[in-house]
Amino acid sequence: MTETRPFVEIRHAKKSYGSLEVLKDISLTVDRGEIVAIIGPSGSGKSTLLRAINDLDPLTGGEVILDGTQVNKALPHRQYEKHINQMRQQIGMVFQHFNLFPHLTVRDNVVMAPKLLKGISEDAAQKLAEEQLAHVGMLERIDYYPSQLSGGQKQRVAIARALAMKPKLMLFDEATSALDPELVEEVNQVMKTLAQEHMTMIIVTHEMEFAADVCDRVIFMDGGVVVEEGPPSIVFQNPTQPRTRDFLRKHLSQYEKEK
């Protein structure tokens, strides 16, 4: 059967903090297996939009739909908790600052969510953790604590932890921007592998080279709206919005220097 429905749909997303309108009626879709980069100047609302997808930052208006189910449903508290837990199990999220539990080993960081949230057996959870840590090249550090790892290694563990839940969708919020430059590539490499495996991914990034190289589509945000959207080649074109143009000049000239 041909699938016509978009895999991820954001319909008329609006978000305000008091009088500050951070998202101003954003609608966009992401297909299954598509890799979309969201880029744009600081404060344009990228993280807010990403965090709205799993309802971590609830919208003040609009809908987020994943694979036909509305994520941000208005439900009585207990029903909402059950619903959102189920939805979040399908949406892996990787943050800038890893958010690993410092008192748990790498193994326990990865094992915990599948065991607690999915109720899978200890043996199955251990096997899953080992598989996912192997996937990100971290199996040999399985019994280390986060404090014994580099930033890049911590981020790879955070990705393995998200993958252990077998998500349908992965969200990356500037996953490499807290890393020393020499550690960025090892994390980008893991994301490239996921892209080759057709994991659906929405990636907020300032890295133009990565966006152009790995993503199927880039979305420019500015001032809470989508200002440009298209294939990765658009990062090399001249956007009409002055702020987006400045942003690109800054980041592309950096890219040119590094080449």
Ligand X SMILES: Nc1ncnc2c1ncn2[C@@H]1O[C@H](COP(=O)(O)OP(=O)(O)OP(=O)(O)O)[C@@H](O)[C@H]1O
Sites of contact with ligand X (CB under 6 A): 17, 20, 22, 40, 42-48
Structure tokens at 220: 């420019």
Maximal C-alpha separation, the chain: 55
Q: How far is the CB of 180 from ligand X (least distance, A)?
A: 19
Calpha distance 223→44 (Å, rounded): 5
8 Å CB contact between 233 and 212: yes
Q: Which is nearer to ligand X, 136 or 226 (CB)?
A: 226
Element of type H or E holding 163? helix 151-163
Output 142 or 173, the one with its CB closest to ligand X: 173
Q: At what angle do helices 106-118 and 122-135 cross, to 10 degrees?
A: 130
Q: Which is nearer to ligand X, 112 or 178 (CB)?
A: 178
Nearer to ligand X, 7 or 247 (CB): 247
Residue 41 or 152: which CB sits closer to ligand X?
41
**Minimal distance in Å, beta carbon 80 to ligand X?**
20
d(CA 20, CA 18): 6
Shortest CB 93 distance to ligand X, Å: 14
Q: Report how far Cα 154 is from the mean position of its chain's Cα atoms.
A: 16
Q: How far is the CB of 197 from ligand X (least distance, A)?
A: 27
Least CB distance from residue 1 to ligand X, whole Å?
37
